[in-house]
Amino acid sequence: MKSLCCIFDLDGVLVDTAKYHYLAWKRLAATLGFDFSEQHNERLKGVSRMASLDILLEVGGIKGLPEEEKRDLAEKKNTWYVAYINRMTPSEILPGVLDFLHQLKAAHVKTALGSASRNAPLILKRTGLACFFDAIIDGNTITRAKPDPEVFLLGAQALDASAGRCIVFEDAAAGVEAALRAGMKCVGVGNPNLLHKATMVVPGFENLIWEELKSSLITLKN
């Protein structure tokens, strides 16, 4: 495997924004008269905004809402979420991420962001991470949510790379599935029980060495 490229999910992989999504969804559920737990929230990881709303409404047993009302609810949640992330700082970049991204830059590895978040540009600006990416594919670009592989295929296209040369970093089962469906190797970041389908799983980026990771991936199959 030569000239590898890396594609990163954003929320929960590079930055700690998952808590803000959860707070906003939980607040929305409360206005609708039911509780939304952290366990429920696991189902939303890597899923688009409208698909996440459908899951939340399913949890609350709410059916048959008009599309216009659903769009209003999703926009209300997003307004709260944006207010939260507008207070973000580089301190919310997850441990080890900056060091790993610097390693990739030093090794001249092309990188892309592959996120379902429509707020990715704001998050990258608030945390100072935008300079590390050669391409950004986000919720403003894609039309199909993970586990559809569109976001990662567009990332590979933007990097002028074949799918087989791309390594995806994901923290959600839907994202892992999307990467594998794209024909890419996938490094799961987080819980191995949730990410067991990934090519390999790491607990995080702390002490992660690019050259060692690359060597390990060469010997593994999807």
Q: Which domains does the chain have, with CATH numbers?
A: 5-16+90-218 (3.40.50.1000), 18-85 (1.10.150.240)
pLDDT level of residue 18 (50, 70, 90 thresholds): confident
| Among 53, 47, 46, CA closest to 77 | 53
Counting Cβ atoms within 10 Å, is residue 28 exposed (0-12), middle (13-18) or buried (19+)?
Answer: buried
pLDDT level of residue 118 (50, 70, 90 thresholds): confident
Question: Residues 137, 32: contact at Cβ < 8 Å?
Answer: no
Percent of the chain exceeding pLDDT 90 equals 85
Rounded Cα gap, residues 163 and 23, in angstroms? 35
Give tens-digit pLDDT for 67-99. 999 999 999 999 999 999 999 999 999 999 999
| Among 17, 8, 175, 179, CA closest to 88 | 17
What Rg value do the Cα atoms of the chain yield, rounded? 17
Rounded Cα gap, residues 102 and 108, in angstroms? 10
pLDDT of residue 2: 59
pLDDT of residue 35: 97
What number is the average pLDDT over the span 108-118? 94
Strands (E), the chain: 5-8, 110-114, 135-137, 166-170, 185-189, 200-202
**Catalytic residue numbers?**
9, 11
pLDDT of residue 1: 46
pLDDT at 46 over 50: yes
What is the secondary structure of 59-120 as a DSSP string? HTT-----HHHHHHHHHHHHHHHHHHHTT--GGGBPTTHHHHHHHHHHTT-EEEEE-S-TTH
pLDDT at 220 over 90: no
Rounded Cα gap, residues 179 and 27, in angstroms? 31
